[in-house]
Amino acid sequence: MTSAAPLLAVRGLNAWYGEGHALHGVDLEVFAGETVTLLGRNGVGKTTTLRAIMGLIRTRTGEVVFDGADLMRLPLHRTAHQGIGFVPEERGIFATLTVDENLVLPPVVAEGGMSVAEIFDLFPNLKERRNSPGTRLSGGEQQMLAIARMLRTGVKMLLLDEPTEGLAPVIVQRIGELLVTLKKRGMTILLVEQNFRFASRVADRFYLMEHGKVVAGFPVGELTNRMGQLHDVLGV
Amino acid sequence: MTMIFGIPVQALLGQLLVGLINGSFYAMLSLGLAVIFGLLRVINFAHGAQYMLGAFVGYLLLTYLGIGYWPALILAPLIVGLFGIVVERLALSRLYDTDPLYGLLFTFGLALVLEGIFRYYYGVSGNPYAVPPLLAGGTNLGFMFLPNYRGWVVVASLIVCFGTWALIEKTRLGSYLRAATENPRLVQAFGVNVPLLLTLTYGLGSALAGLAGILAAPVYQVSPLMGSDLIIVVFAVVVIGGMGSILGAIVTGYMLGLAEGLTKVFYPEASNLVVFVIMAIVLLVRPAGLFGRDA
Amino acid sequence: MAGLSRRETSAGTPAWLEWTLVGLGIAALLVAPFLVYPIFLMKMLCFALLACAFNLLLGYTGLLSFGHATFFGGAAYFTAHAVKVWGWPPEAGILLGMAGGALLGLVMGFFAIRRQGIYFAMITLALSQMFFFFCVQAPFTEGEDGIQGVPRGMLFGVLDLNVSLNMYYFVLAVFLIGVFAIWRIVNSPFGMILRSIRENESRAISLGYSVANYKLGAFVMSAALAGLAGSLKAIVFQFATLTDVTWQMSGEVILMTLLGGIGTMVGPIVGASLVVGLENTLATSGFPVTIATGLIFMVCVLVFRRGIVGELYARLLKRQGKH
């Protein structure tokens, strides 16, 4: 798969929060069908990287090319239409919308997405509670909903920010199974994750971030050899 | 003659009807303010001027083009709504990153200009606008005589309020609106054109004011000043209801109209003041407003 | 709220500029009545004091009041009534008006500080409209006619205010005292706390300040000084009418401050002079004043939110920074 052009290519990405310089030239590539995990301590810029790719942070420089489209030039609301979906860390479930409404909120951007019926087959819990306000769901259900609503849109790639944060182990396992299912369906995923065990089970490749930069990249096979380095950088 | 608390029933019902009519306008206007504020975080001071504009569009259509009430009922909100869209594109959209008070000050200036222009050309005295023939006359309800047009205003305002509520609470467009009120950036990241949504929302809010204006034309005189006095009362209504809820804005509008009507029966001198007094009491008891979610 | 007001710069303040301007300004005002109609100058000074009082609240506390006409016009009524009907001397009438303004400010502030931002503005506007309706109906304001023919009287029993220059220098003295008082308030420890509330209200709360009391204090002071301006105007023009308690008047004060520069000491004075001057010019031209004021509002908000003086400071600072 490395022979083809990457689906997402990020080169020299810088980003600022107000005066604060948060990213100092991030380089990374994600190929179609891959699941890639960004590792790093709190505050090294993992979330910022996802938000800057998506265009949620506008004070940014560098290059972000997705599927041949230059994302740097697009207004925020055109980005998703290139086929890229974002699941934020805080999940972004809307309190004034029902589960159903939350599910169909993101516009369909391409063919090949799942139908609402298919999604409900995958997430029976959500179907049961389809008419209750989105924020009445449990944390795990909200996370499921946050991912589920992207599946309808037909995006080729998901940016997932800490999907397991604060969830019970049994839910984490279910989310892991879900990501594997998505991968089998051909979904490309860029994942930010603190839960190292979880990440090592779903990812094909890893990038390690420090001080707003990517400092290393390696496939899952090298994981055992890299444990020393990871231990130093992550403290795991 | 039947009496309640020493007041003839006819007089009581008559004033309640007047209160209900006023309340209909309070409800429609505070609804529009709440819709705009919810998404744009702008208090639309020009709302009263846009209401006046709606009435004047109706009056001018009739006077210069011979276009009557019913087409005007569509055209006036459309024209005022388009005007709102232009205002949002040219000016308000540049103010979203600044303190919300600048939006208030800008629309205040806009209200002064609109009012000034119509005052310059049409003076301060009102111009009558005839009730459409279909709704002329009245109906004897047995206990009171109801002018048909006033009955229509109540019905129409209920339709408008319910329609807007349903648009926001029950449709897909409405779900975009609600979601964008909560987190506009995320909704935009999902691929919804939020800047366009903001423009349309201001257009919709302005159109609601225009519609209220054309509905008001046959009830009150069409005058350049008709909006500015009303808007301040509507601000008080909005403070009382809190702008967190569409339904809250509607209910508060009708309630305060009725409260005003009742005051006219029992203590006429205070009828101008009662809404403000209620506002003061609500601020003491429930500072966030009756339906307020944002303190 | 911080975005509304220009931060008074601490280091590198163009203080020399401000003092030079103040010196030149006072000198100009001392000779002005020999060059310009004193009545116009006095009108300007009354409104300048009003705008400065308003700016104490908006510029230094971050509260946008849409109800300052209540204090201005209300105090004018009190003073006019005391001087004309009770026969009080002018200085007593002015003090009464000022006290009345403070009292009205206490009542309005008590309700308004319960909400913030935009709601604060709407509440002050609504309460001010309520006071307007009260003035329409209350017998002592003499309704649509207003209180006419208020005698200027003898100041402290010795100085005849009917002499135009006496009146002028009295107004100038009161204006300077008022502005000096505002300057002292702003630069006192109390003023520092007000600014910290403006910059970050929740932080001020967490530091243990009873923010509500400080806000109310600032509101009452601002109202008292606005009342002083109104009382003065009643004596100068010898009448008090409904015009001064309308919401349009409250809007005009906001415009003066916005145009001159929110949160600058000199800005409101410049803004008031320009607006009063413009209105005098327009009064003879037939062009409607409301359209002009409305347009200035829109232009100010869209293109120079710092106001004239604020913009001047910003340019100067920029130039200094480049050296």
| Cβ pair C123:B279 closer than 8 A | yes
Min Cα–Cα distance to chain A from B195, Å:
9
pLDDT score at A3: 55
Total domains, chain B: 1
Question: pLDDT digit string (tens) for B92-132?
Answer: 999 988 888 899 999 999 999 999 999 999 988 888 898 99
Q: Mention every residue, 6+ apart, whose C-beta is less than 8 A from residue C174.
A: C49, C94, C228, C232
Min Cα–Cα distance to chain B from C131, Å:
9
pLDDT score at C181: 93
- For residue A91, the chain B residue with the least C-alpha distance is B186
Min Cα–Cα distance to chain C from B1, Å:
33
Question: pLDDT digit string (tens) for B45-97?
Answer: 999 999 999 999 999 999 999 999 999 999 999 999 999 999 999 999 999 88
Subunits next to C (3 or more Cβ pairs <8 Å) are B
Give the pair of three-digit tokens for residue C94: 């002015």
Question: pLDDT digit string (tens) for A64-109?
Answer: 999 999 999 999 999 999 999 999 999 999 999 999 999 999 999 9
CA C322/CA C318 separation, integer angstroms: 6
Answer positive or negative: Cα dihedral of A77, A191, A92, A47: negative
Question: pLDDT digit string (tens) for C185-227?
Answer: 998 888 888 888 888 888 888 888 888 899 999 999 999 999 9
For residue B282, which of C10, C122, A17 has the smallest C-alpha distance? C122
Of C126, C292, C302, nearest to B235 by CB-CB distance is: C126
Q: For chain B, what is the mean pLDDT?
A: 90
Task: Give the Å distances, CA to CA, from B277 to B22, B25, B245, B293, C74.
Answer: 17, 20, 22, 22, 19
- For residue C63, the chain B residue with the least C-alpha distance is B101
Collapsed DSSP state (helix, strand, coil) of residue B125:
coil
Burial of B126 (0-12, 13-18, 19+ CB in 10 A): middle
Is the predicted pLDDT of residue C57 greater than 80, yes or no? yes
Min Cα–Cα distance to chain C from B103, Å:
8
pTM for the complete prediction? 0.89
CA B181 to chain centre: 21
A96 touches chain B (CB under 8 A): yes
How do strand A84-87 and strand A157-161 relate by DSSP bridges?
Answer: parallel
Q: What angle do CA B98, B103, B108 make, to 5 degrees?
A: 150
- For residue A155, the chain B residue with the least C-alpha distance is B190
For residue A143, which of A203, A186, A193, A184 has the smallest C-alpha distance? A193
Contact (Cβ atoms closer than 8 angstroms) between residue A9 and residue A63 = yes
pLDDT score at C11: 39
CA B81/CA B209 separation, integer angstroms: 9
CA C69/CA C130 separation, integer angstroms: 12
pLDDT score at C2: 41
To test the contact with chain B by mutation, choose from A17, A57, A71, A76 the residue with the greatest count of B C-beta atoms within 10 A, namely: A76
Question: pLDDT digit string (tens) for B232-283?
Answer: 899 989 888 887 788 888 999 999 999 999 998 888 888 888 988 898 888 8
| Cβ pair C130:B283 closer than 8 A | no
Strand partners, B127: B222
DSSP string, B191-206: T--HHHHHHHHHHHHH
Contact list, B195 vs chain A (CB under 8 Å): 75, 77
Domain span holding position C177: 36-149+157-245
CA B31/CA B46 separation, integer angstroms: 14
Question: pLDDT digit string (tens) for C271-316?
Answer: 999 999 998 888 888 888 889 999 999 999 999 888 888 888 888 7
Place of tokens 């004021």: C293
For residue C269, which of C159, C261, B62 has the smallest C-alpha distance? C261
- For residue A92, the chain B residue with the least C-alpha distance is B186
C143 touches chain B (CB under 8 A): no
Of A56, A96, A97, nearest to B189 by CB-CB distance is: A56
Measured distance between the N- and C-terminal CA atoms of chain B, rounded to whole angstroms: 48
pLDDT score at C162: 79
Subunits next to B (3 or more Cβ pairs <8 Å) are A, C
C1 touches chain B (CB under 8 A): yes
For residue B224, being part of any structural domain is answered with yes
Residue pairs spanning B and C at CB distance below 8 A: 123
CA C28/CA C284 separation, integer angstroms: 26
For residue B167, being part of any structural domain is answered with yes
Contact list, A75 vs chain B (CB under 8 Å): 195
| Cβ pair A97:B175 closer than 8 A | yes
Total domains, chain C: 1
For residue B251, being part of any structural domain is answered with yes
Of B105, B116, B272, nearest to C291 by CB-CB distance is: B116
- ipTM topping 0.85: yes
B240 touches chain C (CB under 8 A): no
Contact list, C305 vs chain B (CB under 8 Å): 98, 102
For residue B37, being part of any structural domain is answered with yes
B281 touches chain C (CB under 8 A): no
For residue B159, being part of any structural domain is answered with yes
Subunits next to A (3 or more Cβ pairs <8 Å) are B
Q: For chain C, what is the mean pLDDT?
A: 87
Contact list, B93 vs chain A (CB under 8 Å): none
- For chain C, give the secondary structure using H, E and C: CHHHCCCCCCCCCCHHHHHHHHHHHHHHHHHHHHCCCHHHHHHHHHHHHHHHHHHHHHHHHCCCCCCHHHHHHHHHHHHHHHHHCCCCCHHHHHHHHHHHHHHHHHHHHHHHCCCCHHHHHHHHHHHHHHHHHHHHHCHHHCCCCCECCCCCCEECCCEECCCHHHHHHHHHHHHHHHHHHHHHHHCCHHHHHHHHHHHCHHHHHHCCCCHHHHHHHHHHHHHHHHHHHHHHHHHHHCCECHHHHCHHHHHHHHHHHHHHCCCCCCHHHHHHHHHHHHHHHHHHHCCCHHHHHHHHHHHHHHHCCCHHHHHHHHHHHHHHHHC
Of A88, A96, A153, nearest to B178 by CB-CB distance is: A96
Contact (Cβ atoms closer than 8 angstroms) between residue C258 and residue C5 = no
Contact (Cβ atoms closer than 8 angstroms) between residue B30 and residue B241 = yes
- For residue B176, the chain A residue with the least C-alpha distance is A105
C259 touches chain B (CB under 8 A): no
Residue pairs spanning A and B at CB distance below 8 A: 61
Q: Mention every residue, 6+ apart, whose C-beta is less than 8 A from residue A67.
A: A7, A8, A82, A83, A156
In order of start, what are the domains of chain A with their CATH numbers? 33-57+80-234 (3.40.50.300)
- For residue C65, the chain B residue with the least C-alpha distance is B101
- For residue B281, the chain C residue with the least C-alpha distance is C111
For residue B75, being part of any structural domain is answered with yes
To test the contact with chain B by mutation, choose from A90, A105, A131, A152 the residue with the greatest count of B C-beta atoms within 10 A, namely: A105
Domain span holding position B72: 3-125+155-285
Task: Give the Å distances, CA to CA, from A169 to A165, A173, A195, A235, C78.
Answer: 10, 6, 11, 21, 73
Contact flag for C and A (3+ C-beta pairs < 8 Å) = no
Of C64, C122, C292, nearest to B238 by CB-CB distance is: C122
C111 touches chain B (CB under 8 A): yes
For residue B231, being part of any structural domain is answered with yes
For residue B140, being part of any structural domain is answered with no
Collapsed DSSP state (helix, strand, coil) of residue B240:
helix
Min Cα–Cα distance to chain B from C85, Å:
25
Of B178, B183, B189, nearest to A76 by CB-CB distance is: B189
For residue C13, being part of any structural domain is answered with no
| Cβ pair B182:A86 closer than 8 A | no
CATH number of the domain to which B105 belongs = 1.10.3470
Question: pLDDT digit string (tens) for C224-276?
Answer: 999 999 999 999 998 889 999 999 899 999 999 999 988 888 889 999 999 99
Contact (Cβ atoms closer than 8 angstroms) between residue C317 and residue C9 = yes
Q: Mention every residue, 6+ apart, whose C-beta is less than 8 A from residue C76.
A: C97, C230, C231, C233, C234, C240, C244
For residue C82, which of C91, C72, C73 has the smallest C-alpha distance? C91
Q: Mention every residue, 6+ apart, whose C-beta is less than 8 A from residue A204.
A: A34, A35, A36, A219, A220
Residues in B 180-239 with any Cβ partner in A closer than 8 A: 181-183, 185-195
B168 touches chain A (CB under 8 A): no
